[in-house]
């Protein structure tokens, strides 16, 4: 039987005795043993009543068995639903009620908390971690499993968006969505079985789960699976590794460490950054320290990766590169869908095998965001150069309209971030009785940062209507687990600043 995603990335490794995972305790897991473990877990799932198309909700620690649970779910024909480990019970109540899973898997320490939720939704509850029931049950099962048939259009995963502007939406990802993206990325980034990936990302997010692990599986690469980001451990592992995928915070923290040198990165082939914008100064500092130019790319929960700076060629700070092979990207007028001339700011629309199937149980929302011609409206504002290189300027929902003028926060942030003493900034709009909205700049700076200096720089660089009317000094910007600045929180915290 054909199971598109399982056959391509898991089954191909069933007789591969090479090491898949290097773990924190010094032990290793081969590809052969990993595939066998996935089969054992597939047996547990089906005996719990899972049938093809049923959902498996997972809020569990970063363990080998958690990754094997993903593989086992795909092999059994189920739909994998990873959830942020930081979600509260109130948030989980919504996700479980919406996904209606047949199986729920949690951290062993949370069993008592979630038992009632599982019972209320007729789901079977298992746990992972110390004394976890899923692992113990799987230990007794056969190491082979009759893979359930799944076509390219069947769902493999349901990924919930962060829900910063309303109810979280479940993005339906098909077998083809996930496989096509992995195939494009291993070719583009030249990932192969000689690579060793440093993996310090969470695995409840598309970056750590699908971008990092699907590509490794497809290429049969080796993975140093770290339970979490640990700068000291990363420094130890860099000389034995070739590839790293991270968020900007990883790279800024490495740069803060004097031991992070060109020598320690001499075996590395590629550093990749995503999930949040990387400051130009980080690009330059990183290259100056190591000789490596970080490769920045761009993607979304609903699409996986959309664009990437080139492997061979200029990796330009502030841009996210070119559309992946087989992916169509255009910059359009959001109201009409008409493609805009090169250099003009508009919304990114994308079409390709990577684009999701729609939002779970939200046909109206799906119709709003996927055009009849198949293009998905990302909500990201950008420009496209003559050669097709994409530069993100912000989110449409972050656009500030003040006195009838469109103001793009990133333009102001770029000026602020170049000022002496500035660590980072975030510009956002709040309601204003006369202008509709007014511009506020949240800044994180060191002891040399002076507001008057910032104002003078902004005066020189930008038209007056773009000037922040209020400056807020913070110790740190609010971020989600993937490092993205949460401007919705900034707006909430400072809603009355203009009154």
Mean pLDDT of 378-387: 94
The pLDDT of residue 462 is 86
pLDDT of residue 8: 98
Write the CA distances from 135 to 62, 65, 116, 141, integer angstroms. Answer: 14, 7, 22, 10
Question: Tens digits of per-residue pLDDT, 299-316?
Answer: 999 999 999 999 999 999
Give the mean pLDDT of the chain: 93
Within 8 A by CB and 6+ apart from 92, the residues are 59, 83, 114, 117
Nearest-CA neighbor of 266 among 299, 289, 284? 289
Q: What would the two tokens of residue 460 be?
A: 């020189």
Q: How far apart are CA 272 and CA 431, in angstroms?
A: 38
Structure tokens at 241: 């590794």
Split at pLDDT 50, 70, 90, the class of 162 is low
8 A C-beta contact, residue 31 and residue 238? no
CB-count burial class (<10 Å; 0-12, 13-18, 19+) for 343:
exposed
CA dist 59 and 73 (Å) reads 14
d(CA 405, CA 466): 9
Least confident of 88-102, 125-139, 353-367, 428-442: 428-442
pLDDT attached to residue 203: 96
Rounded mean pLDDT, 475-480 = 91
The CATH number of the domain covering residues in 4-188: 3.40.50.12780
Residue 426: burial class (beta carbons within 10 Å; 0-12, 13-18, 19+): buried
Whether 484 shows a pLDDT value over 90: the answer reads no
What is the pairing mode between strands 270-273 and 243-246?
parallel
Instruction: Please state, for a pLDDT cut of 70, what percent of the chain lies above it.
Output: 99
Is the pLDDT at 163 greater than 70? The verdict is no
Q: What is the pLDDT of residue 96?
A: 95
User: Which H or E run contains 29?
Assistant: strand 28-30
At residue 328 the predicted structure's pLDDT band, cuts being 50, 70 and 90, is: very high
Q: 0.85 cut: is pTM over it? A: yes
Q: Is the pLDDT of residue 483 over 90?
A: no
CATH topology agreement for domains 4-188 and 229-395: yes
Confidence of residue 465 (pLDDT cuts 50, 70, 90): confident
Kindly report the CATH number that applies to the domain delimited by 229-395: 3.40.50.12780
* 8 A C-beta contact, residue 306 and residue 323: yes
- Res 165: pLDDT: 46
Q: Domain ranges for the chain, please list them.
A: 4-188, 229-395, 399-493
DSSP letters for 205-261:
SHIIIIIIIIHHHHHT-EEEE-SS--HHHHHHHGGG-SEEEE-HHHHHHHHT-TT--
What separation in angstroms does the CA of 217 have from each of 10, 71, 133, 210, 455? 7, 11, 26, 10, 50
Instruction: Say which residues have a Cβ less than 8 Å from residue 244's Cβ, sequence separation at least 6.
Output: 197, 198, 234, 238, 250, 268, 270, 271, 272
How far apart are alpha carbons 401 and 391 in whole angstroms?
21
Residue 350's CB is within 10 A of a number of other CB atoms, namely: 25
In this predicted structure, the answer to whether residue 21 has a pLDDT above a threshold of 80 is yes
Output the six-digit token pair for 398. 């972050």
CATH of domain 399-493: 3.30.300.30
Structure tokens at 321: 């590169």
- Three-state DSSP at 443 gives strand
Q: How many CA atoms lie within 13 A of 246 on its CB side?
A: 22
pLDDT tens digits, 329-355: 999 998 888 999 999 999 999 999 999
The pLDDT value recorded for residue 164 is 44
CB 394 within 8 A of CB 413: no
CA–CA distance, 280 with 294 (Å, rounded to integer): 11
Q: What is the mean pLDDT of residues 458-482?
A: 89
* 408 vs 328 pLDDT, higher one: 328
**Model confidence band, residue 447 (pLDDT cutoffs 50, 70, 90):** confident
The per-residue pLDDT for 166 is 57
67 or 400: which leads in pLDDT: 67
Mean pLDDT for the stretch of residues 50-76: 98
Q: Write down how long the chain is.
A: 499
Confidence of residue 280 (pLDDT cuts 50, 70, 90): confident
Q: How confident is the model at residue 432 (pLDDT cuts 50, 70, 90)?
A: confident
């Amino acid at each position: 039987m054909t199971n598109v995603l399982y056959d391509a990335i898991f089954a191909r490794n069933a007789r591969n005795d090479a090491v898949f995972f290097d773990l924190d305790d010094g032990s290793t897991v081969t590809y052969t043993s990993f595939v066998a473990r996935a089969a054992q877990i597939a047996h547990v799932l089906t005996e719990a009543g899972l049938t093809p198309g049923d959902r498996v909700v997972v809020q569990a620690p970063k363990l080998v068995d958690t990754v094997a649970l993903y593989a086992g779910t795909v092999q059994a024909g189920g739909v994998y639903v990873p959830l942020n480990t930081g979600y509260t019970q109130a948030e989980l109540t919504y996700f479980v009620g919406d996904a209606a899973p047949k199986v729920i898997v949690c951290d062993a320490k949370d069993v008592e908390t979630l038992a009632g939720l599982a019972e209320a939704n007729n789901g079977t509850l298992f746990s992972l971690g110390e004394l976890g029931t899923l692992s113990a049950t799987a230990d007794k099962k056969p190491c082979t499993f009759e893979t359930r048939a799944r076509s390219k259009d069947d769902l493999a995963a349901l990924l919930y968006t962060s829900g910063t502007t309303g109810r979280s939406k479940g993005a339906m990802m098909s077998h083809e969505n996930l496989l096509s993206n992995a195939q494009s990325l291993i070719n583009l980034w030249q990932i192969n079985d000689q690579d060793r990936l440093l993996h310090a990302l969470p695995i409840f997010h598309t970056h750590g789960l699908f971008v990092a692990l699907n590509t490794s599986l497809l290429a049969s690469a080796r993975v140093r699976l770290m339970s979490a980001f640990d700068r000291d451990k990363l420094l130890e592992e860099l000389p034995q590794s070739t590839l790293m995928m991270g968020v900007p915070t990883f790279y800024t923290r490495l740069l803060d460490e004097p031991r992070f040198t060109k020598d320690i990165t001499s075996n590395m082939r590629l550093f990749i950054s995503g999930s949040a914008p990387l400051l130009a100064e980080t690009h330059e500092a990183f290259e100056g320290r190591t000789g490596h130019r970080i490769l920045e790319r761009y993607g979304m929960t609903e699409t996986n990766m959309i664009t990437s700076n080139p492997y061979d060629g200029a990796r330009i700070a502030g841009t996210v590169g070119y559309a992946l092979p087989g992916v169509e990207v255009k910059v359009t007028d959001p109201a009409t869908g008409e493609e805009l001339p090169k250099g003009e700011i508009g919304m990114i629309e994308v079409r390709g095998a990577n684009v999701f199937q729609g939002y779970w149980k939200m046909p109206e929302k799906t119709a709003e965001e996927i055009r009849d011609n198949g293009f998905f409206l990302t909500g990201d504002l950008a420009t496209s150069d003559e050669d097709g290189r994409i530069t993100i300027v912000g989110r449409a929902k972050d656009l500030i309209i003040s006195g009838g003028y469109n103001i793009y926060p990133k333009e102001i942030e770029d000026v602020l971030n170049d000022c002496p003493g500035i660590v980072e900034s975030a510009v956002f709009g709040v309601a204003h009785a006369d202008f509709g909205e007014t511009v506020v700049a949240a800044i994180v700076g060191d002891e040399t940062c002076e507001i008057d200096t910032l104002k003078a720089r902004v005066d020189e660089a930008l038209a007056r209507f773009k000037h922040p009317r209020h400056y807020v000094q913070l110790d740190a910007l609010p971020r989600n687990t993937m490092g993205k600045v949460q401007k919705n929180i900034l707006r909430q915290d400072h809603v009355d600043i203009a009154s």
